[in-house]
Structure 1
Amino acid sequence: METLMYPSAPVLSESEVLVPPATAQQQPTHRLLHILWELRYSGAEVMVYDAKEYFESRGLQGAILARGPEFGPYAPTLARAGYPVEHLPARRNLGSFIELYRYLRQHPADVVHLHLEGLFIWHCLAIRLAFPKARIVHTHHDVYFQYGPYLRLKRTFHRWLATHVLDVRHVAIGESVQTVEKEHFRNPTTIVYNWIDENEFRPPTPEQAAAARQEIGIAPDAFVVLTVGTCNDKKCHNEIFDAVARVKDRLPNLVFLHRGTGENLPQERAYVQKLGIEQHVIFLNYIDYLPKVFWASDGFIFSSHWEGLGNVILQAIACKVPVILYQGWGMNDFRPENPAENYGFWINPDTERFDEALLEMYAMKQDGRLEDWRDKAFAFYRKKFSAKKSLTRMADQYLL
C-alpha cells in the first residue's frame, strides 16, 4: 500500500463564495474518507481538491483512498493540498475486501464518500461492517444507460440493497444522472451539482483575454474554439477535427485549441496531420493556469455524446464562453428552458455536424452578436450553478 502525505497548504484563496456561516466553524471534527478509483485530473478529484477548505470549516477532516490498479497522476497534487492519500488497489475477490475492512478498522471514519461505480456494493458492505454508525454517501458521477439487461438488473438490486439495508445516501450530479438512476435503476437520488473553483474560473478582463492569447501564441483576430478533455474514445475528438477540415477554407483564421492528454493523443496528432489542418490546431498538453485557455477562446466545443455533468462546460460558461454541444445526457442539463436565454448550439449527433454551428458562431463574432451570448452564458451559470450552494448541500449530506 502506498501513502502520500505532505504538510497542509492553503488550497483556495479567501472568498465569500466558499466561506460558511460562523456557526458552522464551531462544530466538532468529523473524519471524512473519500474513496475514489485512480486519482486523475478529472471532475471528482478536482472537486475534492477544491472543497478541502470548505469542508474543514464545517468540521470535516478529509482523507483519500485510491482503489484503482494505479495510484494516478493527481495523487501528489491532492497530497500537497494536505490530504493523507493512500493507495489500496481493489481486486475482484473476497480477500481484497477483507483487506479493505482491515484498512478501514485501522483508519476510523465518521463519514465515507464513495465516488466509484465499479465494485460499489462490495465497498458499501465492507464500510458498513467496519463502521456500523458511519454516514455513507455515494455520488453517481455519470449516466449508466448503456448497461445491458442483466447488468442493469444486478445494479438495480445493488442500489436497493445499499439504500434499504446498508443505509447509503445517493447523490446525482445533475438532472440527467438523476433521471437515469430513477428510470433505469429505480434509485431515487438527491441532486448536488458539480462545483468548480469560482475564484479561478471567472470572466476575464479584456487585458486578461488579450494576454492569454499572446501567451498561447494566438493572433488577436483569430476565431478560437476550445475543447478540454481526456483524449479517449468517449470524447470523440476526431469529430471536431473533421469539422475543422471541412470549414477551414471558409474560416481562414480558425484556431481549434485542444487541451488534454490521454491514450488517444498520438492517434489524434497523426489524424490532424492526415487531414492537413496542423496550422489550425494547437495541442496544449499542459498549461500552468487552466482558466487562460477559456479566456483566450470565443467558443467551447465538446464532442462527447453523453456525460454526467461536464465540469469543463461549467468552467467554460463561468468564464463567459458560449458553447457548441451535442444533444444528449449531461449536455442537455446546460440548455436553458427559455429560448431567450440561449447561449449556444445543441447539435443532434445522428443528423447534424458541427460545421454550421462553427460557421454561425464565426458570423456572430464578426457582427457583435456573440457578446450577447457571452453574457447569457455567464448569466445561466449564475442562475443554475453555485459552488456555495453545492458545497453546502454536500456537507449537509454528510452531517444532517
Structure 2
Amino acid sequence: METLAYPPAPVVARPATSQPPTDTLPRPARRRLLHLLWELRYSGAEVMVYDAKEYFESQGVYGSIVARGPEFGPYAPTLARAGYPVEHLPARRNLGSFIELYQYLRKHPADIVHLHLEGLFIWHCLAIRLAFPKARIVHTHHDVYFQYPPYLRLKRTFHRWLATKLGVRHVSIGESVQTVEREHFRNDTTIVYNWIDENEFRPPTPGQIAAARQEIGIAPDAFVVLTVGTCNDKKCHNEIFEAVARVKDQIPNLVFLHRGTGDNLPQERDYVKRLGIERHVLFLDYIDYLPKVFWASDGFIFSSHWEGLGNVILQAIACKVPVILYQGWGMNDFRPADPADTYGYWINPDTERFDEALLDLHARKQDGRIEDWREKAYAFYRRKFSAKKSLARMVEQYLGE
C-alpha cells in the first residue's frame, strides 16, 4: 500500500464556500470521513473533494482518501499537498482484496464513508458495513449508466437495493442521474449538485479577458470557442474539429481552444493536421490557472453525447460563457425551462451538427447580442447551482437524520 503525505500548504479562506467557525460559536463535534475513489485524476469527484476540504472541516468533518484503482493517479499529490491523508489500496476482483479492505478499515476507523465508485460497489458496501456497523455510508452516482445491457442492469438494480438495505444513502449529482437511477435501477436518490470553486471560476473583468488572451497567445479580435476535457472516445472531439473545418472560411478569425490531455491526444493532433485546420486549433495540454481559458473564450463547446453533470460546463457558465451542447443526459440539466432565459444551443446529435451554432454565436458577437447571453448564462448558474448550498446539502447527508 502506497501512502502520500505532505505538510499542508497555507490555507487562504474562501468566503463563498468556506465558513470557519468563529471563537464565539461552539465548535462542532469532530467526525472522521473517508473518501473511497478509483484512480485519483483531475476530474469532477476528485476536484470537488479538494474544494470541499475547508468547508467540511468547518463543520467538524475531517477527511482522508483511499484510491482503489490499479494506479494511484496523477491527482494524488495535489490532494496530499492540500492536507488530505492519501493512500493507495488497489481493489482486485477476489475475496482477498475485500478482506484486505476490511482489515484496513478496522485499523482506520471512520464515522462516515463516502463511496465515489461504480465498479465493485456492493462489495465495498459490504466490507464497510462489516467494519463499521454504525458508520454513515453515502454513495454518489457520478454518471448516467443507461447504457448497461439488460443482465448487468438487473444485477446493478439488485446491488442498489441491497446497499439501501445496508443503510447506504444514495446521492445523484443532477436531474439526469436521478432520473436514470430511478427509471433504470429503481433507486431513489437525493440530488446534491456538483460544486465548483466560485472564488476561482467567476465572471472576468475586461482587463482579465485581455490579459488571459495575451498570455495564451490569442488575438484580441479572435472568435474563441473552448472545450475542456479528457481526450477519449466519449468526448467525441473529432466532431468539433470537423465543424471547425467546415466553417473556417466563413469565420476567418475562429480559434478552437482545446484544453485537455488523454490517450487520444496524439490522434487528435494528427486529425487536425489532416483536416488542414492547424491555424484554427490551439492545444493547451497544461495551464497553471484554469479559469483563464474560460475568460479568454466567447463560447464553450462540448461534444460528449452524455454526462452526469459536467463540472466544466458549470465552470463555463459561472464565468459568463455561453454554451454549445448536445441534447442528452446531463447536458439537458443546463437548459433553462423558459426559452427567454436561453444562453446557448442544444444540438440534436442525430440530426444536427455544430456548424450553425458556431456561425450564429459568431454573428451574436459581431453585433453585440452575445452580451445578453453572457448575462443569462451567469444568471442561470446563480439561480440553479450554488457551491454553498451543495456543500451544505452534502453535510446533511453526512450528519443529518
TM-score category of the 2 structures, normalised to the smaller one: over 0.9
Q: How far did residue 175 of structure 1 move?
A: 0.1
Name the CA distance, whole Å, in 1 between partners of 2:343 and 2:370. 9
Whether contact under 8 Å (2:16, 2:198) holds in the other structure is no
Whether contact under 8 Å (1:143, 1:307) holds in the other structure is yes
Name the CA distance, whole Å, in 2 between partners of 1:118 and 1:265. 26
Superposed CA deviations along residues 266-314 of structure 1, whole A, max 9, x for unmatched, are: 0000000000000000000000000000000000000000000000000
Aligned twin of 1:209 = 209
Aligned twin of 1:171 = 171
Aligned twin of 2:161 = 160
Name the CA distance, whole Å, in 2 between partners of 1:238 and 1:11. 40
Name the CA distance, whole Å, in 1 between partners of 2:230 and 2:102. 33
Q: How far did residue 24 of structure 1 move?
A: 7.8
The AA in structure 1 aligned to 2:55 is Y
Name the CA distance, whole Å, in 1 between partners of 2:7 and 2:136. 28
- 1:309-348 matched pairs, under 5 angstroms: 309-348=309-348
Aligned twin of 1:369 = 369
Q: How far did residue 18 of structure 1 move?
A: 2.6
Q: How far did residue 7 of structure 1 move?
A: 1.2
Q: Decide whether aligned partners of structure 1 residues 279 and 11 sit closer, same or farther in structure 2, where only a CA change above 3 A counts.
A: farther
Supply the RMSD in Å over aligned alpha carbons: 1.1
The AA in structure 2 aligned to 1:50 is D
Whether contact under 8 Å (1:24, 1:57) holds in the other structure is no
Residues 1:62 and 2:38 are matched in the alignment: no
Name the CA distance, whole Å, in 1 between partners of 2:190 and 2:247. 43
3-state secondary structure, aligned to 1:301: strand
Name the CA distance, whole Å, in 2 between partners of 1:31 and 1:54. 14
Aligned twin of 2:233 = 233
Name the CA distance, whole Å, in 2 between partners of 1:16 and 1:272. 40
- 1:1-400 matched pairs, under 5 angstroms: 1-11=1-11, 13-19=13-19, 26-164=27-165, 166-400=166-400
Q: How far did residue 28 of structure 1 move?
A: 1.1
Whether contact under 8 Å (2:42, 2:74) holds in the other structure is yes
Superposed CA deviations along residues 93-126 of structure 1, whole A, max 9, x for unmatched, are: 0000000000000110000000010000000000
- Alignment: residue pair count: 399
Name the CA distance, whole Å, in 2 between partners of 1:315 and 1:230. 16
Whether contact under 8 Å (2:39, 2:68) holds in the other structure is yes
**What stretches of structure 1 of length at least 5 have no aligned partner?**
none
3-state secondary structure, aligned to 2:197: coil
TM-score (norm 1): 0.98
3-state secondary structure, aligned to 1:169: strand
Q: How far did residue 10 of structure 1 move?
A: 4.1
Whether contact under 8 Å (1:11, 1:50) holds in the other structure is no
3-state secondary structure, aligned to 1:18: coil
Q: Decide whether aligned partners of structure 1 residues 305 and 12 sit closer, same or farther in structure 2, where only a CA change above 3 A counts.
A: farther
3-state secondary structure, aligned to 1:113: strand
The AA in structure 1 aligned to 2:149 is G
Q: Decide whether aligned partners of structure 1 residues 32 and 346 sit closer, same or farther in structure 2, where only a CA change above 3 A counts.
A: same
- Which consecutive aligned stretches of 4+ in structure 1 deviate over 4 angstroms post-superposition? 20-25
Whether contact under 8 Å (1:246, 1:355) holds in the other structure is yes
